[in-house]
Amino acid sequence: MDMTRQVICRSRRSRALWAWAAVGAAVAVLAAVGAVRSGVGSDFGLAWAFTSAVALLAAFMCAYVAVARVDADAEGLSVRTPLRRRRVLWRDVADIGVYVHEGRHGETYRSTVVLLRGGRRVRLPLPHDGGGRDRAGFLATVDALRALHRRHGAPEAADHVPVVSYATAGRGSALAAGTCALLLAAAVTAAWFVPDAEAGREAWRAAVPCAAGEFGDCVSVEDAVVEEVDEGSSRSGGALHLGDTWGRVTVSHEAAGHFSAGQRVELTVWRGQVKEIAREGYVWRDHTPGGGDVAAVAIVLALGAGLPGGVVVQRRRARGLPADDLIPSPYPLWIALGGTAVWLLPLGYLHPLDAFGSPGTAAWAAGGVAVTAALSAWAWRASRVRTPGAVAADAPEGGPVFLAARFLEHTDYNPHHFGTHVFLGVGGPAVTPHHGPGMFAAKRIPVERLTVTAVRRARGGDPVPSGWHVAELDDAGRPVRLAAAPDDLVRIVRALERAGG
């Protein structure tokens, strides 16, 4: 590979991958034959069909990785996969960065992302780093691609490698939007059945005993014998087998333990369903969901839709930011949802159809709406996208005070990144590993050799909370980063500038 003229990325294990692809294809064919011989509708046929599908998918994935290839030359990038081929010219590329996502067990996976002019992005199949197994080789290849881009293109962020993750503006929101839409649809569907559920529960409460030979909306009492008891588990519940007439009746795990095989029981039947099973000294009653139960489910689904909805809102508000800028967390919006749940769930459960039917419930609803409005206004302000220039004018002065802040580089006044706070007060700014009081283990910041060069929003590669800002400092020729909440950072920067003269 000639790093000065061309970069070629392809799998180093292509032979092994092709071999595994062939094995997977062979297993898929044999399993398909087994499914046909056993009958696709039978249990064995379904097992064979599932095995064939899994083997075919594994074979395709192996072939995909074996064929995938990325070539970079003086004109641009060429991407080849089994599904498509694509050519991206350098003049259309804004930058080349790293796409980071977390695995199920906390491992970090990195791949390469091409940021196009206009905001779109393209994830490359190669190079990638699977869980840190070849981190050095991955970063070296990314640097080679960026060097080629600098030589033949015009990168927008030549001073740093953009890092796109779940917390940055460049991450898509299609999954969150789809989840929100599904939960809202489920909430609307559940709300549609609230009147029917309430009517059914009232009908059960108002049911009267059946006359001789009468069935339907009335309540009848029948005798039966428990043929078999399935206690199951506390999670799955249990069941009673009551013969051919009533079949299997699902009960709770605890209730199943109160019955035994051969025991005679008395059944209360309504609309063809067993509502009660009684023996001497014990009665099991089936729970009849009413409008309140269904309304509570609808409310939970609607508020649950607000969780991915908050992510979508924050990404929409972060439009126009660089792809690697950290966006504010949606936690304040979620807190507003939690506050809404506190008053809306009890109201919906207790008064599913008459929330405004009495002065008391109307006052309850009106007060809850006011609380939600106040929480929403606070959450909207707390989760807004703040630029460094927008907070400089209203940052307070004063001290002494300990402010949560971190120098992101190892320095003589921040050895091994021990500092968690910056003290402003008598004696000059200092780094401390605590929030006070007292100056134990404090180290003075050499303000005379520090110069503030810029203040910016946090990026994907900065190990800081998403709402913080970062000040870039020059420490006698060495670049140093200081991170803190926006208002706190302005106070610290002003203190540094005053102390340094």
Contacts of 464 (CB under 8 A, 6+ apart): 326, 406, 408, 458, 470, 483
Residue 464 near residue 328, CB atoms below 8 Å:
no
Indicate if the pLDDT at residue 79 is higher than 50: yes
The pair of three-digit structure tokens given for residue 61, joined into one six-digit string: 């994935």
In this prediction, residue 399 has a pLDDT band, given cuts at 50, 70 and 90, of low
Lateral strand order in the sheet of 93-102: 121-129, 108-116, 93-102, 163-164
Least confident of 34-38, 51-55, 185-189, 237-241: 34-38
The pair of three-digit structure tokens given for residue 100, joined into one six-digit string: 């980071």
Contacts of 391 (CB under 8 A, 6+ apart): 486, 487, 490
- 395: phi then psi, degrees, rounded to nearest 5: -75, 130
Q: Which residue has the tokens 């804004």?
A: 94
Q: Which domains does the chain have, with CATH numbers?
A: 7-164 (no CATH), 202-285 (2.40.50), 291-384 (no CATH), 390-500 (2.30.29)
In this prediction, residue 298 has a pLDDT band, given cuts at 50, 70 and 90, of very high
- 116: phi then psi, degrees, rounded to nearest 5: -90, 155
In this prediction, residue 240 has a pLDDT band, given cuts at 50, 70 and 90, of confident
Name the average pLDDT for the chain: 86
Contacts of 327 (CB under 8 A, 6+ apart): 167, 168, 169, 314, 315, 317, 318, 321, 385, 466
The pair of three-digit structure tokens given for residue 179, joined into one six-digit string: 């989840």
CA–chain centroid gap for 490, Å, is 32
pLDDT tens digits, 425-483: 887 799 999 988 888 888 999 988 899 898 988 988 888 988 899 999 999 889 999 99
- C-alpha pair distances (Å), 492 with each of 269, 477, 499: 74, 20, 10
Sign of the Cα pseudo-torsion (318, 324, 328, 334, in order): positive
The CA distance from 315 to 306, in Å, is 14
Residue 68 near residue 83, CB atoms below 8 Å:
no
- C-alpha pair distances (Å), 217 with each of 208, 246, 266: 8, 18, 19
The total number of residues shown for the chain amounts to: 501
Rounded to two decimals, what is the model's pTM?
Answer: 0.78
The helix (H) or strand (E) run that includes residue 36 is: helix 14-38
Indicate if the pLDDT at residue 1 is higher than 50: no
Neighbours of 123 (CB within 10 A): 12
Residue 334 near residue 308, CB atoms below 8 Å:
no
Neighbours of 130 (CB within 10 A): 14
In this prediction, residue 258 has a pLDDT band, given cuts at 50, 70 and 90, of confident
Q: Which residue has the tokens 């594994």?
A: 58
pLDDT tens digits, 203-232: 888 888 887 666 667 888 888 888 888 887
CA–chain centroid gap for 179, Å, is 10
The CA distance from 127 to 328, in Å, is 30
- C-alpha pair distances (Å), 25 with each of 39, 40, 48, 62, 391: 21, 19, 14, 10, 60
For strand 469-475 and strand 450-457, is the pairing parallel, antiparallel, or unpaired? antiparallel
The pair of three-digit structure tokens given for residue 276, joined into one six-digit string: 């009660």
Indicate if the pLDDT at residue 58 is higher than 60: yes
Q: Which residue has the tokens 């067990």?
A: 105
- 353: phi then psi, degrees, rounded to nearest 5: -115, -5
The helix (H) or strand (E) run that includes residue 284 is: strand 282-285
pLDDT tens digits, 331-356: 999 999 999 999 999 999 898 888 77
Indicate if the pLDDT at residue 396 is higher than 60: no
pLDDT tens digits, 265-286: 888 888 888 888 888 888 888 8
pLDDT tens digits, 307-329: 999 999 999 998 888 888 889 99
The pair of three-digit structure tokens given for residue 387, joined into one six-digit string: 């630029």
Q: Which residue has the tokens 């590329």?
A: 93
**Does a cis peptide bond (omega within 30 degrees of 0) precede residue 400?**
yes
Surface-to-core class of residue 338, CB atoms within 10 Å of its CB (0-12 exposed, 13-18 middle, 19+ buried): exposed
Indicate if the pLDDT at residue 392 is higher than 50: no
**Does a cis peptide bond (omega within 30 degrees of 0) precede residue 463?**
no
The CA distance from 126 to 235, in Å, is 45
In this prediction, residue 391 has a pLDDT band, given cuts at 50, 70 and 90, of very low
The pLDDT score that the predictor gives to residue 314 is 93
The proportion of the chain whose per-residue pLDDT surpasses 70, expressed as a percent, equals 94
Indicate if the pLDDT at residue 393 is higher than 50: no
The pair of three-digit structure tokens given for residue 417, joined into one six-digit string: 């990144």
Indicate if the pLDDT at residue 422 is higher than 80: yes
Residue 294 near residue 197, CB atoms below 8 Å:
yes
Indicate if the pLDDT at residue 153 is higher than 60: yes
Residue 212 near residue 228, CB atoms below 8 Å:
no
Residue 108 near residue 119, CB atoms below 8 Å:
no
The CA distance from 288 to 200, in Å, is 8
Q: How many CA atoms lie within 13 A of 459 on its CB side?
A: 21
The proportion of the chain whose per-residue pLDDT surpasses 90, expressed as a percent, equals 25
Q: Which residue has the tokens 């011989």?
A: 37
Indicate if the pLDDT at residue 365 is higher than 60: yes
The pLDDT score that the predictor gives to residue 439 is 86
